[in-house]
Amino acid sequence: MIAHMKRLIPAGFVIVAAILAIVYFSTRTIGKTKDTSSSTVATSPDAITATVTSAQDVLGTEENSLISFMPLRSNETLLSSMGIALDQDTLDDEILIIRKSGNPNLFVLIGIYNPQTTEYDRVAEIDTTVTQLKSFSYNGLDMTGDHRTSLVFQGITETGETVMKIYFCSTSGGSFRLINIGDFKADGTIFISQHDRDSSYELSQSSGRSFPVWVYSSDTREGQGSLSQLQTQYDWNASVGRYVQVQQIYVPGRNIAAKELAKIQDGTVETFAGYLNGLWYKISDSNEKELRYVFFDYDNKEVIFLVGDAQEVYTWGNSNLYKNGIYLSIANSFIPNLRRRVDITLTDVDEVRIFTHDDVRMRIGAENLWDGQYKKMNPERSGLNFEEIDSSIAEDFKSQLEDTITWQTSDGTNVVFKDNQYSISNETTTETGSYVVTQIGKNCVIQFKPNINAANNNTNSELKADTNPVSYFGTTYKLKYNQIVVPPPANSRNRKSTLKDDKTTIIMQPSAIMSSDAFDIPGQVLTLKQDVSE
């Protein structure tokens, strides 16, 4: 009997332990969502870990309905939730995103955890003015570098403007305070420029540099069709207790005629998406060894990122227009929980600026190899045909090259063009060969083929191109005339200056060509000037 009891006692302990474990974990996992399969864990730069449920997953079905730890009112609908330690007590507080009946705006509700009652005290609500849920992002970040968590949110308003707001939350003295330290609005992109902080900051031994905020907005001084921009940087100023402007950069852009602008943006996603359709290549980073491409296919709802032999295929989801741009929400075709947001801003009739960021609830401008300026590989595919291709451009360049007796480069090398042949000479180099000037799409292109024996006499190693190591010139260049500013006549009513081709100076941009387009590649840009000594 005693032996039998000895066997029953351990078994009883096992059963009791199992029951306690079930009870414990069931209370821990009463969730903010009934279906946790769509949740991901996102770690912010200040090492705050939060459970993030995508807005796309919390809408629509009862299975994905959310449960809040903080009671909601009868006119409030919960859309998303996150735990963030806002009041610096290391305990996660509750941030809810809700909608109110009869109001299109999203609201942020803040619930501070009360360890005495083990409940969340509803202390504040913020009207975000954002209406598009899928454009909305929020997170807790140490923006100021002093180990204080800021609540940051961003989104697009009903009028298409981008807003970003940054708040400190404090419970000092027993009362809750919500302090706005950054309030930004623009008709373009707004993003946080994240940079690395040293190890002493990570170990909480010192403060780190604050994260600046960049605001891209249109320069309205040049009229409605101007694509010129103002890029304004804001940074934390401890003495005034908020973000202040530290610099503003004017970025001139092309003035697009109204009829051309209307072909790109008429206020509908379909029109702008139709303009994007096709292959775009990155032109703004000459340090990369391989070109990067983005392919937009609105009809099949796909966005494809390509570099070398690798490609990432994304499903085109939600789209939101803003002035001179569009904001895309896309999801990886193979891993649907891997989402990316893409900001695309028009900078020319065949050029855009692209910002990409993975969806971890906040636009963080950390170094991203996909960010930059992109040109369309073949503008004619869009069906816009902004300007007819003028075949006489190539003839004009060839005539200008051959009618000038001698051209000089910046290092003093003499270049002569005659009867489809060229010759170059300086103190260390002599070379001859043939050349051809052709029209590729809207670009005028020159290609060089050196005579082998002559090219071998080239001992100038500084200007050797990667594509042709024994030749002074590379293989292929795009040609364009230098632009000079012409002031208006003194008696003219029109006081605006104009640009004019300076045909005494030709700029040669290293390029690669395809059947219907030419695009810039890394390499030394050469300048040919007419020899004024003759």
CA atoms within 13 A on the CB side of 476: 16
Task: Label residue 234 exposed, middle or buried (CB < 10 Å: 0-12, 13-18, 19+).
Answer: buried
CA atoms within 13 A on the CB side of 17: 6
Q: What is the pLDDT of residue 88?
A: 74
Pair 221, 211: CB distance under 8 Å: no
* pLDDT of 532 higher than 70: no
Q: What is the total residue count of the chain?
A: 534
- Edge to edge, what strands does the sheet with 190-192 contain? 190-192, 213-218, 229-237, 242-251
Question: Mean pLDDT: which of 39-43, 225-229, 290-294 is highest?
Answer: 290-294
Question: Mean pLDDT: which of 62-66, 100-104, 219-223, 316-320 is highest?
Answer: 100-104
Q: What is the pLDDT of residue 384?
A: 43
> Worst-scoring range by mean pLDDT, 41-55, 227-241, 474-488?
41-55
Q: pLDDT class for 337, splitting at 50, 70, 90? A: confident
Q: What is the pLDDT of residue 221?
A: 75
- The encoded tokens of residue 196 equal 């690395």
Task: Name the residue among 269, 377, 278, 366 with its Cα closest to residue 327.
Answer: 269
Query: What is the CATH class of 392-530?
Result: mainly beta
Q: What is the pLDDT of residue 385?
A: 45
> Worst-scoring range by mean pLDDT, 32-41, 216-225, 328-337, 442-451?
32-41
Determine phi and psi for 59, rounding to 5 degrees: -105, 150
Arithmetic mean of pLDDT, 368-386: 66
- Using CA atoms, how far apart are residues 206 and 197, in angstroms rounded to an integer? 10
Arithmetic mean of pLDDT, 1-13: 48
- Using CA atoms, how far apart are residues 333 and 311, in angstroms rounded to an integer? 12
DSSP type of residue 160: S
Q: pLDDT class for 429, splitting at 50, 70, 90? A: confident
* pLDDT of 24 higher than 70: no
Q: pLDDT class for 426, splitting at 50, 70, 90? A: confident
* pLDDT of 357 higher than 60: yes
Domain boundaries, the chain: 34-251, 259-351+366-382, 392-530
Q: pLDDT digits over 410-422, tens only? A: 888 999 999 889 9
SS3 3: helix
pTM above 0.75, yes or no: no
* pLDDT of 103 higher than 60: yes
Q: What is the pLDDT of residue 453?
A: 57
Question: Mean pLDDT: which of 365-369, 415-419, 425-429 is highest?
Answer: 415-419
Q: pLDDT class for 264, splitting at 50, 70, 90? A: confident
Task: Label residue 531 exposed, middle or buried (CB < 10 Å: 0-12, 13-18, 19+).
Answer: middle
Q: pLDDT digits over 138-181, tens only? A: 989 999 999 999 999 998 888 888 899 999 998 877 788 899 99
Q: What is the pLDDT of residue 129?
A: 95
Q: pLDDT class for 50, splitting at 50, 70, 90? A: very low
Residue with the bigger pLDDT between 423 and 35: it is 423
* pLDDT of 43 higher than 80: no
Arithmetic mean of pLDDT, 29-51: 31
Residue with the bigger pLDDT between 514 and 153: it is 153
Q: pLDDT class for 75, splitting at 50, 70, 90? A: very high
Arithmetic mean of pLDDT, 280-293: 74
Q: What is the pLDDT of residue 12?
A: 54
Q: What mean pLDDT, rounded, does the chain reach?
A: 77
* Residue 489 to residues 236, 306, 322, 494, 502, Cα–Cα distance (Å): 47, 50, 39, 8, 19
* Range 22-25, long-range pairs (CB < 8 A, 24+ positions): none
SS3 280: strand
Residue with the bigger pLDDT between 236 and 364: it is 236
Q: Any idea what the Cα angle at residue 230 is, between residues 518 and 216, rounded to 5°? A: 80
Residue with the bigger pLDDT between 383 and 303: it is 303
Pair 471, 458: CB distance under 8 Å: yes
Arithmetic mean of pLDDT, 393-400: 87
Element spanning 486, H or E: strand 476-486
CA atoms within 13 A on the CB side of 280: 28
Q: pLDDT class for 282, splitting at 50, 70, 90? A: confident
Q: Report the percent of the chain where pLDDT is more than 70.
A: 74
Q: What is the pLDDT of residue 363?
A: 45
Q: What is the pLDDT of residue 465?
A: 37
Determine phi and psi for 6, rounding to 5 degrees: -60, -35
